[in-house]
Structure 1
């Protein structure tokens, strides 16, 4: 976003500076001849008698000032630029606000860091933007590829998430080519190896410069004598009659040639430069290289900068680049809003799944279960499916809830009755999680005449393919012989009337009680009644002296009730802040047999206010021992494989130890000894959290494999994914022996790194198979 804003300013840097500095770089046109370079050099020496004139830039445009570059001071990269009146050589006022644009350019190119470090960061961001651009193209790839309206238009009457997605995806398509151009050119400049490789392809790779010999101390360099430019300028004008811009690089020594870079009036872009070398003593033309005669690679290389700033296409190109760069913050905002909405829906769906699991029917009461399948992109379809399933379950109906991500047509054929809640993505496409099922269902040859089904299709009527995937699913099921229990129900943006018809469909299927329960489930959410009052009993700082934020073990005591399984979650309601606060969720670090709820909580500081987080700040700092805490325990079957004697591998970092510790304590009660913990933190001296308990498990034989890595220690072993790669052979052996894998900790960095490491070690296909078999389970946040 910052690079986009600064780039938008830089796109019109020259025009903005000229508007803010009238009479500096352009003066009123006079009916008088323009001075020669020799006269400008003399005028500059009079204005700056102690400075050496290093360069002169002239434009063949009436009223354009001469730009004279002075040699930089020792240790500086650039010297001062002064402007001279083209008709009399008078010194013009200093160019104001140029310093701001220099700062803006450093921000754009280097993020105000040291040059080499800043190049690395900006180049990495360019790579990331390229990835976002290409994956965004993949995600919005429409079914009607050749319909330009699908690619380039959307209905502004859409609301909520549909409007955000339409704006985000369509605007992204408009600027996609410009973003690819931005990123490729940014990567080219940022990384020397990439630039050298590209220059090699283009035949423009320059040999490395030899280091200059050190100058003897105390010896002043000889003073350079002014060079007479008269004869050289006559030679230049004779050989370049159509010049538009001329850049004269004056030699430091009188015997050296004068270098002139120039752009013709009919040049394709501002960097289409020809060059001359002229003997300043005699005016003899030493070298004359026209742009048109340069190799193709050199001409391609010269277009990189004009393409990056848009000047290759004139003012139109600059406007396009300005708009595209200015759009980057907009994509950041809409992307973040889409992410937050998806996260909210998934959080609600998790709560609904926990409630559904808590109300499961007893074993033996699941004869002829109903399949409740869902295809969800943001979590809304999953939530509605779980609410419907919970309602049916309360009415005594056995229900199996399954995502289409893991369902296959043969599995579908095992049910007599199946209900589908299906959302659509983009222009009627299946959600990402349902693409595999849609493909398998299209190719399947199974007979489904014994299956009765109903489809609740979610969509937005402003899309051309309203509820497109729901229609596709309904038609394909009918084609395979399945019998509809009820005509497909379309839901336009959560339409309450459509959801009521879904309740009526359940009434016809399951009876009056089920329909009433369904209506209640689809219209209400979990409330405060699920929370119980617990007491803060103990608070222990686990990482004194750490460079990271404080990490505490929090102990709460209250009514255990029926207890919980390892890997369970707990919602803490920080109602001490008043109304309007959403609860905060943590992984439980204890098991029912401990008699207390234990959490491992890291303090969170808000970036803007630097204040502590609502729940974490209260639990770790503000609450007094003995204070009441409102708590709701949430089942987390996705992170619980149940009692098992199979080997288990536990991987995590930071406060993620909480979810792993509850499993390890349960394994001790089971007597399961083949456990492996791979855990990472910052420094062994300060961040070896729960070290006594971990070492005790190892001493008693419950941790035959233990890898503790500390990323900030010189010999700490890096990160958990690094330790995994070092122990790849052992990991493969454990997995071959049937090991379960549990990952708990931060989603950013750790979880992705662990997933990539596992894919490298055993292959992505096998890792997906482990996930489908329930042997690869994650609790990441």
Structure 2
């Protein structure tokens, strides 16, 4: 049974093309069954309507009136109610069925009703696909007509009751002609959907870019997540455009692992497919854009043709993204080869900036809050911030080059002082003949994203930032910029939705696993769950060095434990003898397994990938078994946000 349920879920999560195929198949079967039933009814009525059978126990008086004895009347009433015979007003048998024939008739009737139910269910599933509304409406209308025609309602041999046989066949013929016309039209339209725009996203960046591009394309272009695709699905398209994020040190997003495994097992694609890949990554990692190149090599080895080189994008470089889109637009014949990639950033006012562990200057962590000026977000979303270089240092460098720091320039379509433009750009000290000429060649700094620790119902937006230094002791740009913010200082930021890490629509037990600053989104999720009237078990595993200095969000955690919005809290203080978080997970392995497999719980995992994240994932695979772990990833019951 579990395998059947899993197959059903996979079928529902597959492409709408498969559902459309099933819908058309069941409609055709329903037509066939309708005609078979009608032909049988017509044959029985034609063969036996004129036949009259004598009935024992009937006395006819001299005036012609027939009198039935009580036993005969009871027999006739019984056979009439069970449809084994059909009587006219004079108690003459005008039709009859054997018990076997009647059983077959009712079986066909139930099969017809089952087909109707299947068509309605598939139509409801297709209704969520905006391009399938017309097909779904047609299917609903067809089922209504089929039921109205009487072919799949109570089997009735008496042509004097309900619709006549000729009216029924007329309705069926009209339905069939209408179906043939609609099917031809819908099939012709579906064939024009020859291009697929797919994305593999971990934090939502690839999905956001894909959705923006899809708005520029005709409605016949499909937009899909790589997690919902199979190798056979790729064969349905002539062009496949892929936007792929590389996760951590060269790994694919968690949701893309299943597709990769299926593709590796495939001998060759069923048809010739052209593809192009836009690879997203971060050059600070050793294996920059590795997943995009891996995907390109794999598709080529299976017979797909690469129509452009893999375009690498470093931290959302808009020029690289625009260059790829120009190439693709030319290939697919899209008239609009440019797309706006600019984002609307908001000015947020800093409310507070609190150092929570002053005794650890090398691991300084800051809770920073901003006044929420009407921004909407969900628990688990991110705050995307434009970092800036130190103002004093930028002004000093400009003066050394002979520039007026306060001279007004146009940067990113906004007028501002020269030093402010330089603060937001990648200026390395190059010279120019004028301030505006200098600004014109500068590229803006890429934004940085931070998990939100507050909840949507709160008046402030809070992030939790650790001051970062590289191996040579050089301070990180964005983290130090944020940790040095003073009260009322303004920043440029916007909400970045993180659909892979939001709360589920269903209410269920939740296991949250985090370490270090990775606790921030988990606190947001717990706050989001606390406003629900229905309180369900929530279990927080948190790892840090010492309870006395690193118990972040202590007051919030204790408050949630008191009001039962957090039911279990298991810390792992590594330097206090509490071990590491994987040891705590192994210690509670049986409970975790029960929560996930019996209670349909969710797992949220957040923290650094190197060390913490890799070890926790390995531990969960051991507890749940790797096959089960991957199936839970596909079902989005395990959600991962590692950095």
**Does structure 2 retain, via aligned residues, the 8 Å contact 1:419–1:453?**
yes
Cα deviation code 1:617-654 (max 9, x no counterpart): 2322x322001011121111122253320111000011
Q: Distance in 2 between matches of 1:388 and 1:760?
A: 35
Give the structure 2 partner of residue 372 of structure 1.
196
Residue 365 of structure 2 corresponds to residue 551 of structure 1: yes
Give the structure 2 partner of residue 456 of structure 1.
276
Q: Distance in 2 between matches of 1:770 and 1:645?
A: 17
Cα deviation code 1:223-253 (max 9, x no counterpart): xxxxxxxxxxxxxxxxxxxxxxxxxxxxxxx
Give the structure 2 partner of residue 582 of structure 1.
446
Residues 1:395 and 1:605: Cα distance change in structure 2 (over 3 Å):
same
Other structure's SS at 1:643 match: coil
Aligned-pair distance for 1:614?
2.4
Give the structure 1 partner of residue 384 of structure 2.
571
**Does structure 1 retain, via aligned residues, the 8 Å contact 2:542–2:581?**
yes
What does residue range 428-507 of structure 1 map to in structure 2 within 5 Å?
A: 435-442=260-267, 454-456=274-276, 469-473=298-302, 489-491=307-309, 500=326, 502-507=328-333
Q: Distance in 1 between matches of 2:195 and 2:208?
A: 11
**Does structure 1 retain, via aligned residues, the 8 Å contact 2:199–2:207?**
no
Aligned-pair distance for 1:437?
3.2
Other structure's SS at 2:457 match: helix
Of 643, 661, 672, which residue of structure 1 is paired with 2:523? 661
Q: Distance in 2 between matches of 1:700 and 1:719?
A: 28
**Does structure 2 retain, via aligned residues, the 8 Å contact 1:679–1:709?**
yes
Give the structure 2 partner of residue 741 of structure 1.
603
Cα deviation code 1:85-119 (max 9, x no counterpart): xxxxxxxxxxxxxxxxxxxxxxxxxxxxxxxxxxx
Residues 1:657 and 1:771: Cα distance change in structure 2 (over 3 Å):
same
Residues 1:710 and 1:394: Cα distance change in structure 2 (over 3 Å):
same
Cα deviation code 1:689-709 (max 9, x no counterpart): 111111111111112221012
Give the structure 2 partner of residue 595 of structure 1.
459
Residues 1:396 and 1:697: Cα distance change in structure 2 (over 3 Å):
farther
Residue 626 of structure 2 corresponds to residue 774 of structure 1: no
Give the structure 2 partner of residue 647 of structure 1.
509
Cα deviation code 1:244-275 (max 9, x no counterpart): xxxxxxxxxxxxxxxxxxxxxxxxxxxxxxxx
Q: Distance in 2 between matches of 1:530 and 1:587?
A: 19
Residue 500 of structure 2 corresponds to residue 686 of structure 1: no
Residues 1:757 and 1:547: Cα distance change in structure 2 (over 3 Å):
farther
Of 227, 242, 265, which residue of structure 2 is paired with 1:421? 242
Worse-superposed segment, 723-732 or 594-603: 594-603
Give the structure 2 partner of residue 180 of structure 1.
none
Q: Distance in 1 between matches of 2:324 and 2:217?
A: 22
Give the structure 2 partner of residue 706 of structure 1.
569
Other structure's SS at 2:531 match: helix
Aligned-pair distance for 1:680?
1.2
Residue 221 of structure 2 corresponds to residue 401 of structure 1: no
Cα deviation code 1:398-420 (max 9, x no counterpart): 743322x663246668x778734
Residue 634 of structure 2 corresponds to residue 764 of structure 1: no
**Does structure 2 retain, via aligned residues, the 8 Å contact 1:533–1:558?**
no
Give the structure 1 partner of residue 500 of structure 2.
638
Aligned-pair distance for 1:683?
1.2
Residue 543 of structure 2 corresponds to residue 677 of structure 1: no
Give the structure 1 partner of residue 469 of structure 2.
605
The TM-score normalised by the length of structure 2 is 0.51
**Does structure 2 retain, via aligned residues, the 8 Å contact 1:371–1:401?**
no
Residues 1:645 and 1:596: Cα distance change in structure 2 (over 3 Å):
same
Give the structure 2 partner of residue 538 of structure 1.
352
**Does structure 1 retain, via aligned residues, the 8 Å contact 2:197–2:210?**
no
What does residue range 111-150 of structure 1 map to in structure 2 within 5 Å?
A: none
**Does structure 1 retain, via aligned residues, the 8 Å contact 2:369–2:461?**
yes
Q: Distance in 1 between matches of 2:567 and 2:359?
A: 30
Q: Distance in 2 between matches of 1:615 and 1:770?
A: 35
Aligned-pair distance for 1:603?
1.7
What does residue range 300-319 of structure 1 map to in structure 2 within 5 Å?
A: none
Residues 1:706 and 1:366: Cα distance change in structure 2 (over 3 Å):
farther
**Does structure 2 retain, via aligned residues, the 8 Å contact 1:546–1:683?**
no
Aligned-pair distance for 1:774?
0.7
Aligned-pair distance for 1:533?
0.6
Give the structure 1 partner of residue 338 of structure 2.
520
Aligned-pair distance for 1:545?
2.9
Aligned-pair distance for 1:583?
2.4
Other structure's SS at 2:569 match: strand
Aligned-pair distance for 1:442?
2.6
Other structure's SS at 2:469 match: coil
* Structure 1 gap segments, 5+ residues each: 1-361, 460-464, 476-486, 508-514
**Does structure 1 retain, via aligned residues, the 8 Å contact 2:385–2:491?**
yes
**Does structure 2 retain, via aligned residues, the 8 Å contact 1:653–1:680?**
yes
Cα deviation code 1:417-459 (max 9, x no counterpart): 8734399x9xxxx999564232344378xx88xxx96533689
* Structure 2 gap segments, 5+ residues each: 1-126, 133-189, 280-293, 313-319, 391-422, 427-444
When the two structures are aligned, how many residues end up with a matched partner? Answer: 372
**Does structure 1 retain, via aligned residues, the 8 Å contact 2:234–2:240?**
no
Residues 1:458 and 1:674: Cα distance change in structure 2 (over 3 Å):
closer
Aligned-pair distance for 1:582?
2.8
Aligned-pair distance for 1:467?
6.8
Other structure's SS at 2:620 match: helix
Q: Distance in 2 between matches of 1:386 and 1:600?
A: 24
CA-atom RMSD in angstroms: 4.0
What does residue range 243-322 of structure 1 map to in structure 2 within 5 Å?
A: none
Give the structure 2 partner of residue 298 of structure 1.
none
Q: Distance in 2 between matches of 1:383 and 1:536?
A: 26
**Does structure 1 retain, via aligned residues, the 8 Å contact 2:210–2:243?**
no
Cα deviation code 1:465-491 (max 9, x no counterpart): 99765555555xxxxxxxxxxx96243
Give the structure 2 partner of residue 721 of structure 1.
582
Aligned-pair distance for 1:688?
1.4
Other structure's SS at 2:338 match: helix
Other structure's SS at 2:575 match: coil
